[in-house]
Structure formats: structure tokens, C-alpha cells
């Protein structure tokens, strides 16, 4: 089972938008580029919503059938580990093995010694094809990196083998993710990590490092775009080197987590992919849930009322809603409109505050981030929320497809500027 060059992770929290999301991949196909859809939903999201991974598979399969999608598609057990993987084993065929929590925990000294003595080739200046800069690895850096990451890679090996023993070799896409941690991995660290992944015999097809800069949920990148571009090019060069030297799968590519809405780096991602003739897996998730709210607000009437009610409750419970996402949101409470104020808004006022259009003076990034983490409120509404989704399917679907295609797929995979 092989993941195509270009792939997009889409999140469908309430399992109602798979068709609208797949439409965006069909638009890409019409424009001449194959973008493979991967439906991802983490254990955290399933737990908050009270859903099962099998429902994501059912919704994806129904969309694929309805639209006659003939290319591959996948269901991603997003950010799983040994304790959470079980219920994902049957319905999923893509596994994001998350080992961020194990970074910094030391492996046993003998295995660190063995790793260091097995990899003398990593020491010195490594010339990477496609970049000016070479990667410099001193004996100290090799040992320190092993001390910091080897245990995490060994854990990834354990989780991988558990999945392999259940599903069979080659019948799923393995990804290793290290993005939910405090500090970014350098390209040198990435190369060392990849050599350890190869030693563990994990045939990873995607790897999600933490990049420098902030990847907040649902909003644009915050950081130095030029530095990000240099880092991404070096990472791609390091991956190419690791594929050639350590026998990792030839389609191994970067996975960009919290990848939705990072408009200011999409051009850099597109340029790097072109320069290295490679692809990326762009993981987006919550951006679709926000389009549901935008669609409801745009519909007016009961839809707009419900959108306002969700905001009011999110406002009242903001501390609780934000806590699990504290490291990936930056909300300025002073910029949050009061629910009383919002209750008087028109459809247009609500959608223009929420829709991610940075050229609009009404766009409010704090309002957007609070609603991004507010899906628990809608989950608690249960049928009431779902009924309105169904009643307003057309207007919501239009927003979901447009957002994924025009704001994400077109700039990243087609290189189209807005
Ligand atoms: Zn992630």
C-alpha cells in the first residue's frame, strides 16, 4: 500500500462532510493534479465527540462511492500510541504513530552506544543534493541526538510492530509524528532520526517533524517564512539522502501537521516540492468544522441562531475548551466579541469575522480560534446540530469544498496564487 506523492489529510469531526471534501480532490484532478484524500481523526477528537473510528471509515467509503472516486483513499489513526491504537486497527489503513511524549526520555545506554558505533558515516560534513549548505554532525551531536530521540524511535518500532502483527506487513501506511513537542527538530536531527527509524525497520512513508515557527490551529503561520523555506528544503534533502542510504521507502515525504490555513508558507512548500520533485502530506482537520459554522451562519434563520449559540457557549467555557489545545492556539481575550454583541450580528457579520480571509477588515483571528476548539459544544447538542447540518447541506458543502480547494489544495499542490 503506497501513499501518492500529493496527499491531503482532512478532518470530518461530525462525519457529514466527506463528500464535500472529496469534491475538492475531484477539482484538483480536473486541474490535472492527483491529490489523495486521507480522513484523519485523532483519539482526542473521537473522545471529545464520542465517536468511533469506524464511523470515519463509513463516511469516507460512502463519499467515495457516491462520487465514483477511483483513486486510493485512506483513513488515518491520527496521533495514536500503544494505549490508544486498538479501536483504530480494523477501520484504519494509515497510522500516525505519535512519539512526541517519549522525546527526551533516555534509551538504555547500551543501545545508545550501539547506535553511535553503528553510524560512523553520519559524523562529519554531509553533502546533501539540492541544497548549498551541508549538514554538520559532530560526534557529540550524534550522541546527544541519540540520547534525545532513540527511545522515541524504539517506541515507534513497538507501536509499528503491534499494528503490523494485526494488519499484516504492507497493508497500511505508517507515519511517525514528533510535532507535538516544545522544540523544532533540525535537519541534522531529522537525518539521525531517520537512520534510527531505518534501524528499527519501520517502513515509514511520511514523517511529521516539528518545524520552527508557530502552527496554531486554524490560523496562519507565525514565524520567519524565509527560515521555514530553508528548513523545509534541508529536511527534504535529508529525506532524499536517508532514502538513498538507509533503504527507507522511496516515496517517503514530509507530513505537515496543523497544516490548514498556513497561507504564508504555502508558496514555500510548493517551491520546495518542485525543487526536490517530491510531495508532502498536508494535514488539515478543524478547518472543515469551521466551514460548517460558516455555512450555518450564511444560511441565516435557525442556522445563524445556532452558530451564535455555539459561540456564546464557547465564550462561557473558553478556559475548559482551550486547555487541551493550549500549546497550539493564541487567543487574545480582549479581541473576543461579547456574545450579546454577536447575538445582534447579521449572517454577513458572522461569516466575515470567521472566514479566513486576511484581506477582510472584519476577520477576527481570536474569534476563529475559539470556535476552532469549540466543537465540543456542537457535539453536546447532538441531533440538534446534525439536523441543521443536514438541512443546510448545500450551503455548507459549498463552503467546505471551496475552502479546501481554493485556500489549500490550489496554492500548495497546484502552485496557484490567490
Ligand atoms: Zn500533529
- The 10s digit of each residue's pLDDT in 307-335 is 999 999 999 999 999 998 888 899 999 99
Question: Which residues are near ligand 1, the ion (C-beta closer than 5 Å)?
Answer: 179, 257
The answer for residues whose C-beta is within 8 angstroms of residue 62's C-beta and 6 or more apart is 18, 19
Q: How far is the CA of 255 from the centre of ligand 1 (A)?
A: 9
Partners of residue 96 on adjacent β-strands = 175
First-to-final CA distance of the chain: 34
For residue 88, the CA-to-ligand 1 centroid distance in Å is 17
- The backbone region for 15, taken as left when phi is positive above 0, alpha when psi lies in -120 to 50, beta otherwise, is left
Mean pLDDT is lowest, of 48-52, 116-120, 163-167, 219-223, for 48-52
183 Cα to the center of ligand 1, angstroms:
14
What pLDDT, on a 0 to 100 scale, did the predictor assign at position 335? 97
pLDDT value at 96 more than 90: yes
CA of 177 from ligand 1 middle (Å) equals 7
Ligand 1 centroid to residue 298 C-alpha, Å? 30
Question: Averaged over 142-167, what is the pLDDT?
Answer: 98
Q: How far is CA 274 from CA 5, 130, 165, 412, in A?
A: 12, 11, 37, 11
- Averaged pLDDT, 226-249: 97
Cα separation, 396 vs 296, in Å, equals: 7
Report how far ligand 1's centroid is from the alpha carbon of 376 (Å). Answer: 19
Distance (angstroms) between ligand 1 centre and the Cα of 261 equals 15
Q: Which three cell numbers stand for residue 85?
A: 491504537
Dist. CA 258 → ligand 1 center (Å): 6
Q: Collapse the DSSP code of 363 into the 3-class scheme (helix H, G, I; strand E, B; otherwise coil) and give the result.
A: coil
Percent of the chain with pLDDT over 90: 96
Question: Phi, psi (5° rounding) for residue 377?
Answer: -60, -45
Q: How far is the CA of 172 from the centre of ligand 1 (A)?
A: 19
Mean pLDDT for 9-37 is: 97
Give the pLDDT mean for 67-80.
97
**What separation in Å is there between the alpha carbon of 127 and the centre of ligand 1?**
30
pLDDT in the model for residue 326: 87
Please give the distance, rounded to the nearest whole angstrom, from the Cα atom of residue 174 to the centre of ligand 1: 14
CA–centroid distance, residue 208 to ligand 1 (Å): 7
CA distances from 112 to 153, 163, 175, 283 (A): 12, 25, 23, 32
Among candidates 13, 56, 12, which has minimal Cα distance to 379?
13
Ligand 1 centroid – CA 347 distance (Å) = 33
Q: How far is the CA of 284 from the centre of ligand 1 (A)?
A: 10
In 120-233, the DSSP E strands lie at 124-126, 135-137, 173-177, 206-208
Give the distance (Å) from ligand 1 centre to CA of residue 417. 26
Quote the strand ranges of 334-398, DSSP E: none
To which residue does cell 469549540 refer?
Answer: 374
Are the C-beta atoms of 221 and 265 separated by less than 8 Å?
A: yes
Pairing of strands 253-256, 280-283: parallel
DSSP state of 336: S
Smallest CA-to-CA distance from 27 within 403, 346, 374 is with: 403
Q: Average of pLDDT values for 39-62?
A: 95
Per-residue confidence (pLDDT) for residue 418, from 0 to 100: 64
| Cell numbers found for residue 416 | 496557484
Provide the whole-model pTM.
0.96
Span 175-200, pLDDT tens digits = 999 998 889 999 999 999 999 999 99
Cell of 187: 535537519
Distance 40 CA to ligand 1 centre (A): 10
DSSP at 161 = H
For residues 151 and 71, the answer to whether their CB atoms sit within 8 Å is no
261, 254 contact by CB (below 8 A): no
CA of 217 to the centre of ligand 1 (A): 10
324: its cell numbers:
487541551
Amino acid at each position: 500500500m503506497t501513499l501518492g506523492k500529493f496527499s491531503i489529510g482532512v478532518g470530518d469531526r461530525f462525519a457529514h462532510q466527506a463528500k464535500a471534501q472529496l469534491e475538492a480532490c475531484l477539482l484538483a484532478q480536473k486541474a490535472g493534479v492527483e491529490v489523495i484524500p486521507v480522513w484523519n481523526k485523532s483519539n482526542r477528537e473521537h473522545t471529545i465527540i464520542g465517536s468511533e473510528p469506524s464511523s470515519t471509515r463509513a463516511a469516507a467509503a460512502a463519499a467515495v462511492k457516491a462520487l465514483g472516486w477511483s483513486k486510493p483513499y485512506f483513513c488515518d489513526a491520527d496521533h495514536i500510541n500503544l494505549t490508544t491504537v486498538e479501536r483504530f486497527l480494523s477501520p484504519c489503513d494509515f497510522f500516525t504513530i505519535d512519539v512526541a511524549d517519549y522525546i527526551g526520555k533516555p534509551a538504555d545506554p547500551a543501545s545508545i552506544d550501539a547506535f553511535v558505533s553503528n553510524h560512523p558515516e553520519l559524523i562529519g560534513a554531509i553533502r546533501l543534493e539540492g541544497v548549498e549548505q551541508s549538514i554538520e554532525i559532530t560526534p557529540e551531536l550524534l550522541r546527544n541526538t541519540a540520547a534525545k530521540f532513540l527511545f522515541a524511535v524504539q517506541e515507534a518500532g513497538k507501536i509499528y510492530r503491534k499494528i503490523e502483527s494485526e494488519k499484516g506487513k504492507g497493508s497500511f501506511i505508517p507515519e511517525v509524528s514528533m510535532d507535538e513537542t516544545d522544540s523544532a527538530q533540525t535537519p541534522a536531527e531529522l537525518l539521525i532520526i531517520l537512520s534510527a527509524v531505518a534501524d528499527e525497520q519501520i517502513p515509514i512513508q511520511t514523517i511529521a517533524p516539528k518545524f520552527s515557527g508557530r502552527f496554531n490551529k486554524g490560523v496562519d503561520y507565525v514565524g520567519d517564512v524565509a527560515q521555514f523555506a530553508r528548513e523545509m528544503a534541508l529536511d527534504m534533502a535529508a529525506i532524499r539522502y536517508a532514502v538513498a542510504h538507509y533503504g527507507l521507502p522511496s516515496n517517503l515525504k514530509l507530513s505537515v501537521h496543523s497544516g490548514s490555513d498556513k497561507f504564508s508558507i504555502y508558496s514555500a512548500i510548493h517551491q520546495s516540492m518542485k525543487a526536490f520533485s517530491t510531495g508532502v502530506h498536508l494535514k488539515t482537520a478543524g478547518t472543515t468544522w469551521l466551514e460548517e459554522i460558516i455555512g450555518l451562519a450564511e444560511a441565516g434563520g435557525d442556522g445563524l441562531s445556532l452558530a451564535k449559540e455555539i459561540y456564546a457557549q464557547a465564550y462561557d467555557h473558553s478556559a475548559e475548551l482551550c486547555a487541551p489545545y493550549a500549546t497550539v492556539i493564541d487567543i487574545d481575550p480582549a479581541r473576543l466579541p461579547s456574545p450579546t454583541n454577536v447575538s445582534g450580528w447579521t449572517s454577513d457579520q458572522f461569516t466575515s469575522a470567521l472566514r479566513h480571509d486576511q484581506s477582510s477588515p472584519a476577520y477576527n483571528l481570536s474569534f476563529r480560534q475559539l470556535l476552532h476548539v469549540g466543537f465540543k459544544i456542537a457535539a453536546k447538542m447532538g441531533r440538534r446540530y446534525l439536523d441543521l447540518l443536514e438541512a443546510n447541506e448545500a450551503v455548507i458543502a459549498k463552503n467546505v469544498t471551496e475552502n479546501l480547494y481554493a485556500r489549500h489544495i490550489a496554492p500548495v499542490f497546484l502552485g496557484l496564487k490567490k
